[in-house]
Amino acid sequence: MRSIGELARDCGLSVSALRFYDRAGVLVPAWVDPVSGYRWYEPEQLEEARLLTRLRRTGMPLADIRLVLAGWAGTDTDLVRGLLQAHLRRLELGLSDARGEFSTLRALLDRRETDAMTSLRTTSARLSVPSTELATALDTVRFAASTDGELPMLGGILFDIEGEALHLVATDRYRMAVARAGSTGHDGPRTQVVVPLPLADAMRALLTGEDPVQLTVDGDRVTLEAGDRQTSGQSLGHEFPDYRRLVRLPAGRRAHVDTAALRRTLETGPVRTSGTREHNGEPYDLSVLRVAENGSVIVCDDGDDDQNNIAVNRDFLLQALTAGARDELVLELGAPTVPLAIRRPDDENAFSILMSVRLDE
């Protein structure tokens, strides 16, 4: 018989997904060790597991998948064909409805983009920013910026100027980082501009001194002056998501962590493979976390299925710990479906959030 790990490797599902399908009565192991609770599968269950993998990729409901697997194991091919055809019809109808909705949304977006470009052409601001604060802010958010060419509006860093505050924000949809730098000299309305990554990196290279630098926004042109040096370029002509709405997370349980110790645990501790989940075409490992009763953060073993566990992309978490740039950080863990927040204990204005990953998918 195959162990659950072997079946997961051969069928493309994760171990945690196989446990979920066992509990849901979809793919039940042939034998469960009464002492260890470890699951074992008959060789012929590999075909069922691969079929289950394909059906889940199509989004078929679990109730229908149960019937398909039952019919597949028997001789009732008419039932299987009927269920597949019915699901295909649902997908086609859903696609037709989605196309209509997207057509309407595109028209609305076209109008918004026209309004945004009109506003951008008249945008102007000039402010002074402490060099060290701007450098720290860029270092804090840079890791979360997107490199997805299909989402050019996320391929930069938002500079949000309001009053005496300059907020920098970056996101690639799976994570977001926010940092704040003080500023002086701007007394106009709130101004937002998305600085492309090459220009943001060029700005960072200038921030080597202690004196304040001058940031100027003139229409779609952004310029940073540091003494007798400067860099300038065109902003991205796209509207950035409303990050203030995205960071309003329900309160979670906070845990102070030793950054270096947590990093070592993450790098050498247990991980769970993400199965068919990919980022930029590459599968990634998950770290599963939980706050213990004593307030410490546990990196859970593979067999730990506590309902309070939160799974995140391990590489993303390691990058967030580096960007946090503190010996001690605060992790805020809420429900398994709520993003994980990484905060600085001495600066509530600099933090990052990572999207959690459902373990039962």
Can you give the residue ranges of every domain in the chain?
Answer: 2-87, 123-244, 249-354
Average pLDDT across the chain, whole number: 88
Q: What are phi and psi of 83, to 5 degrees?
A: -65, -40
pLDDT band per the 50, 70, 90 thresholds, residue 119: low
Name the CATH superfamily, with its identifier, for domain 249-354: DNA Polymerase III, subunit A, domain 2 (3.10.150.10)
Tokens at residue 309, please?
Answer: 């566990």
Q: Which CATH architecture has domain 123-244?
A: Roll (3.10)
pLDDT band per the 50, 70, 90 thresholds, residue 235: very high
Please state the rounded mean pLDDT for residues 136-161.
91
**This model's pTM is above 0.85:** no
pLDDT (0 to 100) of residue 115 = 63
Please state the rounded mean pLDDT for residues 231-248.
86
Whether the CB-CB separation of 269 and 286 falls below 8 Å is answered with no
Cα gap 239→250, rounded to integer Å: 26
Cα gap 329→290, rounded to integer Å: 16
Cα gap 221→2, rounded to integer Å: 61
CA atoms lying within 13 Å on the CB side of residue 117: 7
pLDDT band per the 50, 70, 90 thresholds, residue 118: low
Cα gap 311→296, rounded to integer Å: 16
Q: Which CATH architecture has domain 2-87?
A: Orthogonal Bundle (1.10)
Could you read off the pLDDT of 154-185 as tens digits, one per residue?
Answer: 889 999 999 889 999 999 989 999 999 999 99
Whether the CB-CB separation of 222 and 168 falls below 8 Å is answered with no
Q: What are phi and psi of 190, to 5 degrees?
A: -60, 135
2-87 shares its CATH topology with 249-354: no
Cα gap 199→142, rounded to integer Å: 12
